[in-house]
Each structure stands twice: as C-alpha cells, then as structure tokens.
Structure 1
Amino acid sequence: MAEAARSKRTKAPNGAGSLRPYQGQYRVKVTVAITGGQQQVSRVVRTEAEGRLVLAQLLADHSRGLLRSPDTLTVEALLRELVATRRDEWKPKTVANNEDLIRLHLIPHIGHLRVQKLKAQHVQQLYMLLARTYSLSLVRQVRSVLRQALQLAVVNDVVSRNIVKDVELPRVRPVRRARQNRALSPEQLEAFLNAAAPFEELAGPVFHITGLLGLRRGEAAALRWAHVDLQRGTVHVRDNLAVVRGRPTPGTPKTEAGDRTVPLAPETVALLVAWKFRQQELGRMVGEKWVDSGHVFTTVKGTPFHPDRLSKLARALGVQAGLEHVTFHGLRHTSASLHLARGVPAEVVKTWLGHENVSLTLNTYRTVYGHEHRLHVTGMSGLLQQGPDNLTLDGALRVGA
C-alpha cells in the first residue's frame, strides 16, 4: 500500500506554495516552472506570521510573472534582496555603507552574473582588482557583504554552498608609512586641553570627558543629562549620533558592549556639576533662541553637535596646540593607553570603552609610552631573581637592583 501511495505522488504544480517550520524558524517555498522541469523559490523567516505574509507576496509575484526562478537570479538581485532582508537588523550607517559597497564595487563587476554561475575565480578576480586601487580594509568589507549574500542564497536553496568562504583575500604588501602614535602623551593631552579650554567654556568639557572616558564622537554628541547620574557619579552611554551620508542619525552605540555605565571620579563629577550650572546660565542669556535639547555638550543655541564638527574642532585645536596629528578618535586611544599605563586592568578599560573583547583594547588602542620601557628595564641580576620586589627606581627613572 505504501509503495502504491508513493507511486501516485506527483510533483507540486506550478505556483504551489508551502509554509513549514525550519530549524527554529519557518521556511516558505513556492514552486516555479522552468525549462525542462521545475524549481522552488524559498525564503527563511523568523515567525509564522511573517511567513504567511512572505508566502502571499511570493504567490502574488508569481501570478504576475515577477517571480524569477533560482536559475535566473543575478548577483545584483541577490545583493538587493540581502539589503531588503537585513535592513531592519543593520544600523542605519551599516545600511548606507553596504549599499555603497554594492553600488560602487560589486554590481559593476559581478552584478550581471547569475548566482548559480558565480565561481571562485570571479570572486578572486574581484578581490585582486579592488586591491590594486583600494585598501585591504575595503576589500574585507566587500567580502563580508558578498559572503552574507551568498549565505542567503544557500539558505534559500539557490546554491548548495557559499563559495565566498573558500576564497582567500589577496596578499598585498602593506605600504610602508611613518608610524605615528594615535594616543597622546600626558603632556600632549594637557596642551590640547589647554587649547580647548576657551571652546569648552561655551560648549562643555567635551574633549576633557572624551580624553578621560574614551567616548566615541557620536556617543559624546548624543550624551544627555538624563543619562548622567551626578549623585552616584556615573555616566550611562546608551545613545549614539551616527553620520549617515552627511546627516546625523540617532541610534544606539556601535556594539552591544557599547551600551555601558562608566564610573566618574569626584573631580569629574564636580566638573560636570559646574558645567550644568554654567549651561543653564548660558540658556538664560540666549533667551528664546535657546533650545533645551537635554544634551550635555551643546552649541551656543543649546542644540547637539554634529559629530563631523567635533572632528574638525579636534583637528583645529590640535594644530593650535602644536599637535598636527590630533583627531577626535585619537582621544579614545589616549584614554585607553593612559589608563592602561597607570595600571588599570585591561578588562576594566575594555568595559569603560565599550569594546566587545579585550584584544581590541590591547592590540589596537594601546600605545606603550617611552617611560614605560624605562620603568621595567633591568639587568641580568634582576632578571634572574623571581619577583619585582628587588627593583628600585632612581631619580632619573632608571631601574636598579
């Protein structure tokens, strides 16, 4: 009987659709007729309700002749589907960056190819072509977008494997550049803050707090008084003002770890208390034109700063202080390096800066200052002893037994 039942089964008719559970999610399938047979167009969604909507849309597209079979899907169409699928998951800046990568670097070179005809050599040639003109960092970003798109094709049964995972990045010899520390020394930071003092009288201690807490520029621009607890001495970093195609766009910090609470020293609390009173006085002086935005650092009208303006101000103030290489993000490196140099555990600094892992804090943000090398140098007699207790410093910061 079972064999008879199986023999009577027929292929699903053209336009048939289904919605079934799949690995904790739901898979939608619609059968599409192709030359010599049929194929299924599938989508994986999170919920059953979303699946019903997607199934209805696919069936409607099929009835209008708009639903393409997997064997005619181009890389360009797949990339656009990736953006449409992930738009709600990605942050606005990520959406804009990925759209630019797709428009400028992927579609012009491989967008016309059918996904099922895309080969590893096509991807390798793309990487080599881009590496001739652009940085390896951009090639990595292109690879990330393409890999996500091909993984979407795998999940939707368009292809059986993600070929992008098998293609290595080109080995490009890095251009030799004069190494320049992004972090400032204590003396340089003091000179920079002195140059910034007149500006901070009217805008708030934005560079002081950034150099101390290592805020990202969007985090500093978005910081509100509602997230500063002057009684407990803490700052809760929970907002970010990202720049998307030139426009400041409110959002959350860059990573989950970026949503963090940072403790403040008593002198920092006193500084912020004084600035809060000063800001209220400025608001009364400006009068009706003052905008009570609730932000900690504001323009003379009370509005939050555009993050790009903070970057330009940091460079200009650096030049004024005789420090040509100062950047706003460099103050974040400075905060990490100075805290680590004074012995703060790396895990603590990682949390203060909102990094996902401590390796980023140590490998990317850590500058080892010259005096630290002198502090730990020793002779063989000191090296042969088991602990640092035998080491002493003289007045010239030289180490001896």
Structure 2
Amino acid sequence: MTGADGKPVVRRLGVKCPRLRRGFGWNPRHGTWYFQYDHADAAGSRVVVSFGSLATRAEAEDQLAAVRRLLGIADEVGDDPKAVAGLRVQIAARIRADHKAGLGLPEFEAMRRAVLTGAPVTEHLTVGQWLTQWLAGKTALSVSTRRMYASQVRTYLIPHLGQVPLDRLRVAHVTAMFDAIAGEAAAAEANNMARREADAARKAAWARGDRVAWRKAKDRLASLPVFRPPCHAATRFRLRSALRSALSAACAQQLVTVNVAALAEIGSGRSPKALVWTAERVAYWQATGNKPSPVMVWTAEQTRAFLDRAQRHEWYALYLLVACTGLRRGEACGLRWIDVDLNARMISPAKQRVQNGWEVLETDLKSDASERDVGLADQVVEALQAQREWQQEARERAASAWVESGLVFTTDVGAGLHPARVTAQFKQLAREAGLPPIRLHDLRHGAASLALAAGVDLKVVSDMLGHSGTAITRDIYTSVYDELKHAAAAAIAAAINGARRPIAAPAVRGRRTAKPLAATG
C-alpha cells in the first residue's frame, strides 16, 4: 500500500497481524509475548503487573510465575488484610520500577529479607548510598584511617560501583572494578615514566646547550598527560579491605547475605619491594629520572651525607631522631618533652601530629604497639639537649608571643611543626646534599634496615618501630637487609683497595642558625 506521494505506508498491525496465528493457536515464530498479572483482594486493593517484548511463551510464563512468587511474600507479614494488601502494592511498584530501569525482576531473597526486616521495599539502596552511610557511622576511626577510607570511597568505589543496587552487587562487579583500576595504574605508570624520561632529556639538552634537542624534549613533555600517582597492588589490597568492611556491616544489618568483596580475587597485596640506592641505581636514576622502586633506602654513607647537610638546619635533631630510631613523621612532630628522659636515654612517644587535608590534628598513636619505649644513642641525646637549649633561647626571644605547646620540635614561637613542611624541608636538604630521592618515611625504613644489617635482633627492631609483630618487620625489611649486607661487603672491599674514604660522623652543634622552608604552625 502506498500513499499519495507514492511512498509505502507503514503501520503496526498489532494483534490484527495475520501471521500471529497459526491454525487454532498462536504462531511461536512470529511476534513477541507479554503477560499480565491482575490481582484484587478482599481489602479492595488491586494489583496489576504486565510486561511485554518477551521472546517466547515459556519466558513469559516464567516471568509471570516469578512475579506471582514475589507478590506472595506479602502474605508472610501477618493476618492483617490491609497490611498485606498495602505491602503487595509496594512490591508491585518495585517490580515495575526495576523493569522500567532495565534491572529485571527483584531477587526473591533480597525482597523477602527487606519485607521481613521492615526495610523500604520501593527504594533501591545503591552501593554508593550505603558506602556514604557506612563511612558516616565510622566515628571511632582515627583521623588518618577515616581520611584514607573517604578517599578510597570517593576516588574508586563510588565511580566504579556507586550506581549498582546493593542487593545486586556481585563478585563480577568487584573483579571488573579491580581490572579497570589495574589497567589505569599501568597506563599511569607508563605515562609517568615517559614524563620523567622527557624531563631528563630536556635538562640534559639544556646543560649541553643543544636548543633543538631541548625544544623537542620540552614539546614532548607538554604533549604527555599530567603526572598521576598510580594505584599500586598494595593500595588495591587496602581498597578491597575497605569494601569488605563496608559489606560486612551491610551483612550485619541483613541488607546483603554474601560479602562479595571477600570472594573477589585481586592478586597479591604486597607493598613494592624496598631497594638500596647502589651506585648502579643512582646512575640509572640520574640518566632517566626514574626511581627503580617506589620505596628506596639510603646506604649508611648516604644517610651520613644527609645528616652532614641537615646539621646546619634547626630541625637537625628531628631528622637525626628519625634516622636513628625509625620514628614515624607524625610521632616525631608530636613528641613532647614529658615523653623524653635524657638521663635514661629513652623516649616514650604517646601522641602524633597528623594531617587531615592541610589541617593538623594531635591524636593518639596508630596502635597499642606504637606506644613503646625507644632507646637513644649518645649522639641523639646530645642533639636533643642542643634542641632544648635552642628552644629556651627561642622562648626568651619570643617573650609574650611564645606558645607553650610542650613539644620537642617547634617553630621559633613554640608552635608545633606542620608535618608537610617537615617533609618539604627534608626533600630540599636531600637535594642540596646531592643525594638520590627517598621519602621521609624511607628514613624510617633505613633505620630499621641498617639496624638489622648491624646485627640487631629482629624482635628489638620490631619493638623500636612499634610493629605489632616481627612478621611485619621481616616482610618489609628482609630484602633490604640482604642488599645492605652485600653493599657493606662491597664497601669493605673498596676500603681495602683504597678506593673509599671514610665519612666522619657529624658533630652536634648547640645552635643552628639556618632557616627552614617555612616555620609556621
């Protein structure tokens, strides 16, 4: 049939299509199926549920049976006809909403659990909504742990899983998320390495006066995406732990029956292997700008070179304390004079200064194991005595402006040090000393590794670091310990051959006048 313009006229025939029937029944090879469930009860409530576009009659019959079973859950709540009828209406509304959203039928056990526990039937609680509720209720967490959880929820969990209904979260969802994160991490690492290589080429070209090569390297650097910290395997392991904790709470509230995060396989969660800055690795870093491992440790000679440079800075005692005792940054910044016994050559850290964004908070230590007594070497005792003398002089200069914080390490008006500024100053001093880069936390690693290499018992080192057990210490530092033994053997051989000059240990000065990067609290 054609219209006045000569074009075919197309219209739907619907149930009048002659191909829908065959003989005295329906043609199973043409059209789609639908079903309608219509229920009216004694309370006068009517429930209608109908779906279409089903491929076969068998599929339509299966869907009808599933709908009837879901609506039958309402009969389990009691004998009140009005309550049963009202609940049946709510279940029907949920069925229609899920179908419209393309989610299929609600799962029977999840719906039954919601009905019997009094949870909302017509609303979908998504993973994102639950994570937000769960995090808001974790009031007992330390500031740093809460901040880490919030970052994980915001950066990874909600973007990947936030829209999934909580009761429909499956292992496949979690596995897909970690596969995607691993892919993003690999891409970020490749890009970061390319940026470092381009930057190293740019600096080398500038140093030799090759402007053509310098411009080429500069353009290459500008064309690459910005630097992004990758989500390493250890971070993904902690991310899975956070999700597992959130889903355990959901299980406790009967919102889900299975903790799918506990079933997801994401591989090893080991931290990156710590490596020592050997001469070969230093040369590689100088040529490429890339660190062989995210966790690097200085040799004893490199640590002494850093302390030689830091000795002229007023935070020298802090860096010496970390290098010799392995205190965490927050523990060093939060150390109080009441926690120090110079006569007994002992400190007992009890507080820490940690960051929450840029804000600095004074909190209890990380764990019970962190509350320990740490012995001090004579050199550290002398440095702390000099620090006390410097602080007394600073108190007299500041007069009424002095803040009586009771902290060992302060600004020139007595306020506590900002941990980020301590880290920034550490990096600057390391650069000025011409040393390969490490994190301030790696100075703690170095203290432990050098102690083990010197033959200190593993249990003693574990206690010094505030670890809950020797297994943690062994897992982190065994590889570095072995490397340091080989480095020490090479140093001895070099000394015998006359190729190595000993580096004198730094002398402790009673007063340091160099200024830090910043001295505000």
Distance 1:311 1:177 in 2: 18
> Which residue of the other structure, out of 350, 355, 362, is the alignment partner of 1:243?
355
Greater CA deviation, 333-342 or 103-112? 103-112
Match of 2:485 in 1: 372
Matched residue type, 1:276 = R
> Which residue of the other structure, out of 169, 192, 197, is the alignment partner of 2:306?
192
Query: Is the 8 Å Cα contact of residues 348 and 374 (structure 2) preserved in structure 1?
Result: yes
Greater CA deviation, 366-375 or 291-300? 366-375
> Which residue of the other structure, out of 249, 266, 274, is the alignment partner of 2:386?
274
Matched residue type, 2:350 = R
Distance 1:10 1:370 in 2: 68
Greater CA deviation, 154-163 or 267-276? 267-276
Q: How far off is 1:353 after superposition? A: 0.7
Give the TM-score normalised by the residue count of structure 2: 0.57
Q: Whose Rg is larger? A: 2
Match of 1:169 in 2: 266
Distance 1:160 1:35 in 2: 20
SS of 1:240's equivalent? Answer: strand
Superposed CA offset, 1:63-111 (max 9, x none): xxxx6349732212211221122222x1112212212221222222221
Distance 1:347 1:108 in 2: 43
Q: How far off is 1:146 after superposition? A: 1.6
Distance 1:313 1:42 in 2: 60
Question: Any residues of structure 2 matched to 1:80-99 within 5 Å, and which?
Answer: 80-88=132-140, 90-99=141-150
Match of 2:78 in 1: 11
> Which residue of the other structure, out of 182, 189, 205, is the alignment partner of 2:296?
182
Superposed CA offset, 1:326-372 (max 9, x none): 33112101110111111110111111011123233233245237672
> Which residue of the other structure, out of 336, 344, 355, is the alignment partner of 1:224?
336
Aligned-residue Cα RMSD (Å) equals 3.5
Matched residue type, 2:409 = F
Match of 2:158 in 1: 107
Match of 1:140 in 2: 237
Mark the runs of 5 or more structure 2 residues left unpaired by the alignment: 1-75, 93-110, 186-230, 274-289, 498-521
Superposed CA offset, 1:307-339 (max 9, x none): 111111111101111103133112101110111
Query: Is the 8 Å Cα contact of residues 310 and 316 (structure 2) preserved in structure 1?
Result: no
Query: Is the 8 Å Cα contact of residues 70 and 158 (structure 1) preserved in structure 2?
Result: no
Superposed CA offset, 1:266-286 (max 9, x none): 443343233212311221123
Query: Is the 8 Å Cα contact of residues 353 and 360 (structure 2) preserved in structure 1?
Result: yes
Mark the runs of 5 or more structure 1 residues left unpaired by the alignment: 1-8, 17-31, 44-61, 378-392
> Which residue of the other structure, out of 470, 489, 494, is the alignment partner of 1:358?
470
SS of 1:249's equivalent? Answer: strand
Greater CA deviation, 176-185 or 315-324? 176-185
Matched residue type, 1:80 = T
> Which residue of the other structure, out of 91, 103, 110, is the alignment partner of 1:35?
91
Q: Are 1:155 and 2:252 counterparts?
A: yes
Distance 2:474 2:268 in 1: 25
Query: Is the 8 Å Cα contact of residues 333 and 353 (structure 2) preserved in structure 1?
Result: yes
Matched residue type, 2:422 = L
Greater CA deviation, 292-301 or 249-258? 249-258
Q: CA 1:218/1:155 → structure 2, altered by over 3 Å: closer, same or farther?
A: same
Query: Is the 8 Å Cα contact of residues 41 and 70 (structure 1) preserved in structure 2?
Result: no
Query: Is the 8 Å Cα contact of residues 127 and 163 (structure 2) preserved in structure 1?
Result: yes
Question: Any residues of structure 2 matched to 1:312-391 within 5 Å, and which?
Answer: 312-366=424-478, 367-368=480-481, 372-373=485-486
Distance 1:158 1:70 in 2: 14
Query: Is the 8 Å Cα contact of residues 322 and 328 (structure 2) preserved in structure 1?
Result: yes
Distance 1:251 1:179 in 2: 31
Match of 1:261 in 2: 373
Give the TM-score normalised by the residue count of structure 1: 0.73
Distance 2:262 2:122 in 1: 21
Q: How far off is 1:180 after superposition? A: 7.7
Q: CA 1:271/1:71 → structure 2, altered by over 3 Å: closer, same or farther?
A: same
